[in-house]
Chains A and B, each alone.
Chain A
């Protein structure tokens, strides 16, 4: 094995074309944060404050919401932006406190895996969800259903 030793005082060779992921992560936290304030405050108002609050939430309520493109897009944005924001924040905390490289690696891989899995699951649920499943008791279904 041979090692290349640079001539003294030669210019530092850094890969210039590499993307600075930490910089983009930093920017992402702020950009997504602003959008999330609007999305989450809207989400909380509609689900917890308006009407009878949390007691209104059941399959009929969610089915009625998720059958509209407006709430589909709202919830998709919420899912992606919030979970990536949260996972990246947890990664920051893991990197701060997990001093053992093996533990750090395990925790970060677990964060990545859970984020990818839940984003896929959530997106699949939003777009393959049937608000009027056949054979379900009519009183549990949203009012838009024909089989109600």
Chain B
């Protein structure tokens, strides 16, 4: 290597291009990049909603299978889904499915989109926002259906 190029490498970096970052002391302990942040909570919520949906799916396949037995048996069981308590349970189920679906799409984007990891935090809040919009559309409709009479 010539002396000239070695000197260029050793020269101090220009301050304008790489200014010294100003870091202020955090007011609270910030943990790590992952722990306690959006990344961790999306993982926790994905697991909890996933397990809840799985157990509902097991029951849901069994109750639907009653159509093979008799109309009376199916109607007797499905009427239980129309009570106020189960109606609220359905709202919770839809909320869980909505989050799991939207966060799942976020995971796919993190894995396959070239800048997915860079925007993972923003995508979490977008998923939460879209989820809130969907729930704002669904919840009044569901509550109307359960408590609206008839």
- A: residues with CB less than 8 A from B are 30, 33-34, 36-37, 40-41, 44, 48-49, 52-55, 57-60, 62-63, 66, 79, 82-83, 86-87, 89-90, 93, 114, 118, 121-122, 124-125, 128-129, 133, 136-137, 140-141
- Does the CB pair A54–B145 fall under 8 Å? yes
Q: In the assembly, what is the distance between CA of A33 and CA of B46, in Å? A: 13
- B: residues with CB less than 8 A from A are 47, 50-51, 53-54, 57-58, 61-62, 64-65, 67-68, 70-72, 74-75, 78, 81-82, 87, 90, 94, 97, 101, 104-105, 107-108, 111-112, 138, 141-142, 144-146, 150
Q: In the assembly, what is the distance between CA of A3 and CA of B11, in Å? A: 60
Report chain B residues within 8 Å CB of A66. 67
Contact residues of B: prevailing secondary structure: helix
Q: Please give the distance in Å from A143's CB to the nearest CB on chain B.
A: 14
Known A55-B82, A66-B67, A140-B72; 4 more pairs at CB < 8 Å: A33-B101, A33-B105, A53-B141, A125-B64
Report chain B residues within 8 Å CB of A52. 145, 150
